[in-house]
Chain A
């Protein structure tokens, strides 16, 4: 269980994180999405006491993080895979933490095997690791204390597609056993495949949060026409809101059937007519996170809007 309440943080007068409130329940994976610099890392640092919020607070497993007797055994953390001493061997880096949190030394071997770092890799100094190896070492470190909560900042960064698939399986299994997972990413695709809930952060504020289905209720229909200008005119005359989409298509905020009937009635030839789904989530993510962030925009209005009127 992770609870954040009105977390706010300023650096040198600039508000980096503003009034962030959320809850991550046991048994779920929560995806924390936003572009680089949106405030994800700062929020995560405040959760675990590395950074002190100016307002608000966070509770993990029912209390403040710093009040946990042995936090390494309750909460697994990966905030920066490169934050390891370059001159220390991979196995030794884990062994130091295992000793600190009182985990038997054999657990080091277990997590190394779990993340797929073999003995040769474990004996190398971390300074010689590739980004992917550091990421695996960081995941091994997060799992070392057999925690019940995982807080992972950009854990898929530097993993190959196979590694990403493996990590999704790992997190899914962890949550299914009752664990709580919060993972951040700046890439929608990394998160949406595994997350039960998503929070989209832009400009230091949470712009939208909910399950995938909840976030998609606004999504519409992808339409492609033989004559694009004709299509635009038709949509405008019908009072439907449309947005530019990839490949000279339109994303229309209406059900496919509505558009199909309209096209037949007006003799407009359509080449493509399909529910938006992923395109809708992508658009939502794009719009919410590129607005610069002072005022959260409505999910269905945008700067990419082509036809103004709504009925």
Chain B
């Protein structure tokens, strides 16, 4: 570090009339933040690598009779379903645990705009990962059993449901991050709470409510089978409890909380 170059003049911008960053630019910035840290970068690489691995193993080793699109898709979206919520958590919690919020919220003082940009960026990343997973699965199906009847049945509705499955999971991650505002506890909560809930729900007292509130039961069928109206209603109530409610609490927390330095 030399001091020789430090005397260059700083133009002082007295007359500046500027317009603020639009939502599109903020979304682009949030997408960039998800991949430009070491953790974020490897998380995305790991998602792609695991998807390829899982689909390959399934189509080679699995039951040779039916490497159908439906069965491979169920396996192929799992890595993204597990890892995307973590990316969502880190997108929010890093502003606090890495304290970048001091920068983010002084550049964009209206914090709800930042959160909105994070949600849209999360949706876009989840959809990109869906495209990736569907591509890998399709390649796997073509390689394993080309031309078998019924191989591609229900592909369109299953892809649509998987889109809801992945984006719902991703936004749940963002919501958990926003409630907890600390990386490790949020990740633990995201994985431990549904398991604990399953334990509670196994009590006969809750047996009737479980399919409506347990994310595994309510959301699990999405990449597997074309869902009935009742199943959609169950998915909606589970998402309301695990995604929407934390998101509302998290929004309230983020917009009010002091950003410490």
Contacts and interface: CB of A to CB of B under 8 A. Distances in A.
Contacts of A170: 6, 10
Contact of A48 (B18, B94, B100, B106): B106
A179 interface: yes
B5 A100 contact: no
B25 interface: yes
A66 interface: yes
B1 A133 contact: yes
Interface size of A as a range: 35 or more
Interface in B16-30: 16, 18-21, 25-26, 28-29
B36 interface: yes
Interface in A82-119: 82-89, 92, 96-97, 99-102, 110, 113-118
A125 interface: yes
Contacts of B10: 114, 143, 146, 170, 173-174, 177, 179
A153 B261 contact: yes
Contact of A80 (B13, B21, B38, B261): B261
Contact of A147 (B13, B37, B104, B110): B13
A239 interface: no
B12 A49 contact: no
A87 B37 contact: yes
Contacts of B6: 114-116, 166, 169-170
A79 B109 contact: no
A132 B29 CA distance: 27
A148 B261 CA distance: 23
A71 B109 contact: yes
Interface string B105-119: 111111000000000
A50 B25 contact: no
A77 B100 CA distance: 13
A80 B14 CA distance: 26
B29 A85 contact: no
A225 B40 CA distance: 68
A50 B105 contact: yes
A69 B7 contact: no
B33 A96 contact: yes
A50 B36 contact: no
B18 A146 contact: no
A283 interface: no
A49 B33 contact: no
B131 to A, nearest CB: 24
B11 interface: yes
A186 interface: no
A74 interface: yes
A116 B100 contact: no
A72 interface: yes
Given A50-B105, A166-B6, A85 B98 contact: yes
Contacts of A179: 10, 12
Given A99-B32, A114-B6, A163-B3, A70 B21 contact: yes
Contact of B261 (A52, A74, A83, A141): A83
Contact of A50 (B33, B40, B106): B106
19 contacts: A41-B261, A71-B106, A71-B107, A80-B261, A83-B100, A84-B99, A84-B100, A92-B36, A99-B28, A100-B104, A101-B107, A102-B21, A115-B6, A116-B1, A132-B1, A136-B1, A143-B10, A146-B13, A174-B10
Given A48-B109, A52-B258, A166-B6, 5 more contacts: A50-B106, A73-B16, A80-B261, A83-B100, A102-B21
Interface of B: 1-3, 5-14, 16, 18-21, 25-26, 28-29, 32-33, 36-40, 94, 98-110, 258-259, 261
